[in-house]
Structure 1
Amino acid sequence: MARPKILVVGAGFAGVGCVRRLERTLGRDEADICLVTPFSYQLYLPLLPQVASGILSPQSIALSLRRSKKYRTRIIPGGAIGVDTKAKVCVVRTITDEIVNESYDHIVLAPGSITRTFDIPGLVEHARGMKTLAEAAYLRDHVIAQLDLADASHDEAERASRLQFVVVGGGYAGTETAACLQQLTTAALHRYPRLDPRLIKWHLIDIAPQLMPELGEKLGQSAQKILTDRGVEISLGVSIAKAAAQEVTFTDGRVVPTRTLIWTAGVVASPLIATLGAETVRGRLAVTPEMTLPGADGVYALGDAAAVPDLAKGEEGAVCPPTAQHAMRQGVKAADNVIAAIRHQPLQPYRHKDLGLVVDLGGRDAVSKPFGIELRGMLAQAVARGYHWSALRTNVAKTRVMTNWLLHAVANADFVRTGFQSRKPATLVDFEFTDAYLSPEELQEQVASGKPGS
């Protein structure tokens, strides 16, 4: 009999965790494993703000998928754009822009999420995100470019607009991005003696009444005080009314002249989920505690794209938050359940108690809540960086990150523009590719007549 084919979609924390478990547990004659991803690396997302600020190099948090000692997974370089659960076919657009059908016996859907946007005039055309490695590298280039251009300009109005920066989103990504990049521009001041320090202004805004509510009121206020003391202007209960190339209008009526709008106001599940035509919970695929899709044979979903019941909370309707901590563990459990299905054994539910949260604010500042214990300052920073370092999957990545941290601590920041963004706008509309997915009609047509994968 032919070996069953396991198709894993997505190389994030959930997908890679699943593949690694499958490789280490399944015998070579038990199943074929395939991974659909446009990039042959796993991105360690929590450290993206440190890439944007230059603390870490981009390569240090891009963990190669081809270093595994158990490596036997066939990587399909492309993105999944549709899934027909009845025909057991996943439609993939390869990086050569070829559309192929990949059949499967078991499919693990871990496509992750995209930046959540709203119908705000000018948002996707002028805002920059913080969701991919390319966006982080572009953003660093852009911020340093604003300093250079302001330094070269003789127009006071232009200078003022280039030296104001707006970050929307008071969650972890937004708060850490504002904190790290504000430190970068502050450190750069002594390298730009012609610039007036009073002109450099960072704005952090969020529609919520407090920063990072998941941390609790006290730690949220601590983080807010740290940023405020650094000079970051924080506005809560406020969002964006409209965005333009050289200014942003807040919902409270203020108009801020700026060339830099950074949008980190949450995420939504990958549009791939909508192609299944299945039940969702706030856009995430509704699955069982075993992470299976009800009514679909051999379909598992996890990570940011799935509403996995949170059994550890003991509350009806509670689902696991879209965090790396849950995604990594869900990947392992999903792999175990796929293996159990192949071996005709019972599936097990996912259960994990949240270990806490860490927020690195750069330098010696951080707030952390491991196991419910509230920490601030250097101890919180040690916990935050220790957690991230230990979570890195390879020793090579751990060495690169630790070396970067030590080098930055000794030598401080460099203010080098690579020129990545000089010929490309690099805004949200350039990175999300939300129009790449198939409609139900296009999916059926492709499944019926499309080219099979290799």
Structure 2
Amino acid sequence: MARSRILVVGAGFAGVECVRRLERKLSPADVEISLVTPFSYQLYLPLLPQVAAGVLTPQSVAVSLRRSAKHRTPIIPGGAIGVDTKAKVCVIRKITDEIVNQPYDHIVLAPGSITRTFDIPGLVEHGRGMKTLAEAAYIRDHVIAQLDLADASHDEAERASRLQFVVVGGGYAGTETAACLQRLTENAVKRYPRLNPEQIKWHLIDIAPKLMPELGDKLGLAALEILRKRGIEVSLGVSVADVGPEKVTLTDGRVLPCRTLIWTAGVAASPLVGTLDAETARGRLVVRPDMTVPNADGVFALGDAAAVPDLAKGDDAVCPPTAQHALRQGRKVADNLIAQLQGRPLERYVHKDLGLVVDLGGKDAVSKPFGIELRGLPAQIVARGYHWSALRTQVAKTRVMTNWLLNAVAGDDFVRTGFQMRSPSTLRDFEHTDAYLTPEQVREHTASLRARA
């Protein structure tokens, strides 16, 4: 009897957790597991702001898949750009741009998400993202470059635009990004003889009326107070109206001289979702509580790309796109896939959120583990302890801990590597959202495979 072919798309928290569990519980004689991902690492996304600030090296948060797996699962280096659920074929664009058809018996869709943007003039052309490792490394170089150029400039207007920074998005990612980068520039400016610390201005913008509402009013206000004490201007109930190369216009009419806009205002499901010709809810694949896709044999979907019912909350709630849910969904999908192979009933996914940790750099943090509200050093210990324990390998844990200790003892460094120095490196340059096929194109690609069969 032929081995069942299991294809896992995506090497984020959900996909990697699923693969690891399948490897532990299934024999190589029974199944053939493959993983589709452009990179042979799992990105520990929550620590990206610390990479941008130089507290951690990029390698620290890029956890090697070849170290964390049992070396049984081959990695197909590329991205899934279409799925034909009737032919049971996934269309993959390799990193060489070669397009191949990959047949499967069961497929696990965990392609993650992309940066969510809106139809704001100039945003795509001039905004920077914080979703990938390359973007975090680029932003660090870019911010330091603005200090270098401002220090060398004798034009007050140019200097003002280079020393104002705007972060859009008052959620977890935006708040940490603004906090960590503000701390970097605050320490760096001491090394620039021509710059005045008061010239450097950071803005955090969000259309919502509260900062990080998931923390609750008390901790949300505590985080707001920390940011404002550090000189970050937080504007709530405000959004961006227009983005230019040297200025940002806000919806309240203010025009900020600015050459750096970092966009962290939410995420949208991977465009791969649109290639399936399946039902979606707010852009995410509709799935049953057991994470199977209706009317698609052998297809599971989870993580940021799937609208997984949140049975712990009830009603029509769906699970938020967090690492906490993705990890547990990955384990449950693996168990359900095994149950399906063995002819057993599938189980529903139920998990109550355990809380949130927010690292604001230095000794500043707010955390809410198990509903317990913490701030300051205790919150920082909880935040970093959680992230450290969640890292996959001992090598990654050692690198991160060493970086944290070195930063605490020696302080920040302000080295600019020249990464992507001559490239615009804007929002669309790192996520390749134009690579996906339409459902019709997917069927055309898989038709040749069906003809040969």
Report how far residue 414 of structure 1 moved: 0.2
Residue equivalent to 1:398: 397
Matched letter for residue 155 of structure 1: D
Matched letter for residue 240 of structure 2: I
How far apart in 1 are the matches of 2:309 and 2:32? 29
Residue equivalent to 2:55: 55
How far apart in 1 are the matches of 2:344 and 2:30? 14
- Write out per-residue CA displacement over residues 186-224 of structure 1, whole angstroms, 9 at most, x where no aligned residue: 001210121021210000000000110111111111100
How far apart in 2 are the matches of 1:451 and 1:160? 61
- Write out per-residue CA displacement over residues 222-279 of structure 1, whole angstroms, 9 at most, x where no aligned residue: 1000000000001001111010111111011111011100000000000000111111
CA contact (8 A) 2:85 2:297 kept: yes
How far apart in 1 are the matches of 2:120 and 2:428? 13
Report how far residue 347 of structure 1 moved: 1.0
Residue equivalent to 1:199: 199
CA contact (8 A) 1:180 1:362 kept: yes
How far apart in 1 are the matches of 2:222 and 2:187? 23
How far apart in 2 are the matches of 1:409 and 1:275? 47
Match of 2:140, SS state, is helix
Residue equivalent to 1:151: 151
How far apart in 1 are the matches of 2:3 and 2:46? 37
CA contact (8 A) 1:240 1:248 kept: yes
Residue equivalent to 1:208: 208
Query: 1:146/1:284 Cα in 2 relative to 1: closer, same or farther (>3 Å)?
Result: same
Report how far residue 432 of structure 1 moved: 2.4
How far apart in 1 are the matches of 2:443 and 2:279? 19
Residue equivalent to 1:449: 448
After TM superposition, the structure 1 = structure 2 runs for residues 41-440 of structure 1, keeping only pairs within 5 Å, are: 41-68=41-68, 70-313=70-313, 315-440=314-439
How far apart in 2 are the matches of 1:292 and 1:69? 25
Match of 1:334, SS state, is helix
CA contact (8 A) 1:99 1:450 kept: no
Residue equivalent to 1:5: 5
Query: 1:191/1:451 Cα in 2 relative to 1: closer, same or farther (>3 Å)?
Result: farther
Match of 2:66, SS state, is coil
Show structure 1 runs of 4+ deviating over 3 A.
none
How far apart in 1 are the matches of 2:312 and 2:30? 33
CA contact (8 A) 1:142 1:421 kept: no
How far apart in 2 are the matches of 1:353 and 1:251? 37
Report how far residue 69 of structure 1 moved: 5.6
Query: 1:185/1:16 Cα in 2 relative to 1: closer, same or farther (>3 Å)?
Result: same
How far apart in 2 are the matches of 1:451 and 1:191? 64
Which segment is superposed worse, 5-14 or 330-339? Answer: 330-339
Query: 1:451/1:228 Cα in 2 relative to 1: closer, same or farther (>3 Å)?
Result: farther
Matched letter for residue 98 of structure 1: E
- Write out per-residue CA displacement over residues 132-190 of structure 1, whole angstroms, 9 at most, x where no aligned residue: 00000000000000000001111111011100000000000000000000000000121
User: What is the aligned length?
Assistant: 451
Report how far residue 296 of structure 1 moved: 1.1
Match of 1:210, SS state, is coil
How far apart in 2 are the matches of 1:168 and 1:284? 23
How far apart in 2 are the matches of 1:366 and 1:101? 47
Report how far residue 421 of structure 1 moved: 2.5
Matched, 1:37 2:27: no
- Write out per-residue CA displacement over residues 364-389 of structure 1, whole angstroms, 9 at most, x where no aligned residue: 00000001111110000000000001
CA contact (8 A) 2:87 2:450 kept: no
The percent identity for this pair of structures is 78
- Write out per-residue CA displacement over residues 10-56 of structure 1, whole angstroms, 9 at most, x where no aligned residue: 00000000000011110111100000000000000000000000000
Which segment is superposed worse, 67-76 or 204-213? Answer: 67-76
CA contact (8 A) 1:358 1:368 kept: yes
For normalisation by structure 1, the TM-score amounts to: 0.98
Report how far residue 345 of structure 1 moved: 1.5
Report how far residue 2 of structure 1 moved: 0.9
Q: Gaps spanning 5+ residues in structure 2: where?
A: none
Report how far residue 451 of structure 1 moved: 11
How far apart in 1 are the matches of 2:40 and 2:123? 30
- Write out per-residue CA displacement over residues 111-133 of structure 1, whole angstroms, 9 at most, x where no aligned residue: 00000000111101100000000
Report how far residue 311 of structure 1 moved: 1.4
Match of 1:67, SS state, is helix
How far apart in 1 are the matches of 2:448 and 2:179? 51
How far apart in 2 are the matches of 1:89 and 1:310? 30
Match of 2:135, SS state, is helix
Match of 1:66, SS state, is helix
How far apart in 1 are the matches of 2:173 and 2:449? 40
Query: 1:406/1:110 Cα in 2 relative to 1: closer, same or farther (>3 Å)?
Result: same
Structural RMSD (CA) = 1.1
CA contact (8 A) 1:188 1:415 kept: yes
CA contact (8 A) 2:274 2:439 kept: no
How far apart in 1 are the matches of 2:62 and 2:118? 29
Match of 2:304, SS state, is helix
Report how far residue 288 of structure 1 moved: 0.8
How far apart in 2 are the matches of 1:91 and 1:31? 21
CA contact (8 A) 2:55 2:412 kept: yes
Matched letter for residue 324 of structure 2: Q
Match of 1:261, SS state, is strand
